[in-house]
Amino acid sequence: MLAINNSPSPTTTTAPMHSTIKQSPLYDGLSNDTKARTAVRNAFTHSPAKMHRVYSIARVIGFGSNGVVLAARAANGTPVAIKIIYKEFAGKMGAPLSEIEVLKYLSQAGHSAHLLNMVDHWEDSHHNYIVTELFGSDWSQASDAQFETLEPVTFRSRFGGKVTEHKFPFSAGSSDLWSWQHAHRSHMQNTEGHSLLPIDPVKQIIKQIAMGLQSMHAKGFYHADVKIENILVQSASSDAMNSTSTGVKLADFGHARHFSYGIRNYGTAQLQAPEFLNDSPFSSMELDGRAADVFALGMVLYALLSENGCLPSTAQALAMSSTGYESLMSSNGGYYPFDAIADLDHHDEAWGLLNGMCRVDPAQRFTMDQACSITPTGFAECLSNPANCPHASSIQFPVPSIDDFSTLVHTLAKRLRLTIVEQVPMAVSARLKAAKPANAMMKALSASANAAGAAGGIVSFELKCGSTL
């Protein structure tokens, strides 16, 4: 044992000795699985009243590199999700967490039904905690698709002089869009011999996420990590696989910021827009993360429409920076070079949406307002209420040949009651003006696109509501 004498020595003078112990990151070197299990145990140790008294924990429903999510019930019986966010170093308290600030703002009046709503938050020495509504069906139980099975997390905790044994089911996530599409592709393979997803549910899902992002963007915020793992999907009926109505909410706002801060990079490299490439002419303060959200949602749409759920091959090249911005701008007229999608000929509006949402130049890309209005329902509403539709929308679809372009333009103008504002045959483009509301417009446009069929040119129409021109 060392004895410490605080009295001064009569014969020697000793300089004070300082030692600095470098603190290691909280969960440094652990796998995502191990971090999640350790964090759950630590949550019961460092926030015992919350985890024992305020909330009743049921199971682990997802985890990643930065946190783990628990399904629970509040004291009043309301189902909730508790997101445990790992701190970099233990003991660091009081530092504001941007995700909480963003959710506070978004959860105020005017909150979108397609964004998760925050109901509580707190912190302890190891974690920040965000409590939201619990949303999403368990798609691992709704189909015969194979999902990864993980061992439950088991441990003991002590609270109020009582020791409790815990054993929580442990899942990497089965309520997100990845799980939805995995379950439905398996169902389609077993029943119809292919893994293409039905188009109508895909449209419903994309429309709802676009509406959630539209609400965020209108308030000046971008999400910055739109991907299938951050989209929660809930069936409206007990027969989830055959339900015709699906609810969707966007989750995980850890990368969300106000657009005035600019954006340096996107949350997931594979869904990162071309403007983040090294040879891009834009600085981080010039970039608007809302445009990057539009691009990422376009990539999600492509993955859902493709037969295997994969992103286009160019996306991997972008993630590895093996394709440059200038190369993309010059190689395909500024349009993103998508791979072909099987059986998409009869859904040309989807190609129009993809081409508009994923333009290489962010200034030419759809806004989320335009992405919402380009769908058949939204576009018909726009034409019926011109005063509520101040923006233009572009639609691209195949035409038989450049020689047939002029005939096609005049046929469409006549059938859709549009006026030809400008026609540029050499560029295969035209602008058409809506002279008056055309309720049958989208039906006629779809029929014309299908008849145009298989020949490979791309026609671009910029459609504006008549009263705004």
Residue set of the binding site: 92
Give the whole-angstrom CA distance, residue 426 versus residue 28. Answer: 59
Give the whole-angstrom CA distance, residue 122 versus residue 60. Answer: 19
Which residues face 431 on adjacent strands? 422, 462
**Sequence ranges of the binding site for ATP:** 92
For 121, the enclosing helix (H) or strand (E) is strand 118-123
Q: What angle do CA 47, 48, 50 make, to 5 degrees?
A: 70
Instruction: Name the nearest CA neighbour of 221 among 110, 361, 120, 84.
Output: 110
Backbone φ, ψ for residue 222 (5° rounding): -115, 160
Length of the chain: 469
Q: Are 86 and 127 in contact (CB under 8 A)?
A: yes
Q: Are 353 and 301 in contact (CB under 8 A)?
A: yes
235: three-class secondary structure by DSSP: strand
400: three-class secondary structure by DSSP: coil
Give the whole-angstrom CA distance, residue 208 versus residue 249. Answer: 8
Instruction: Name the nearest CA neighbour of 297 among 354, 369, 238, 255.
Output: 354
DSSP string for 69-84 = EEEEEETTS-EEEEEE
Give the whole-angstrom CA distance, residue 264 versus residue 255. Answer: 11
How many CB atoms are located within 10 Å of the residue 339 CB? Answer: 12
For 289, the enclosing helix (H) or strand (E) is helix 289-305
Q: Are 370 and 432 in contact (CB under 8 A)?
A: no
Give the whole-angstrom CA distance, residue 320 versus residue 270. Answer: 9
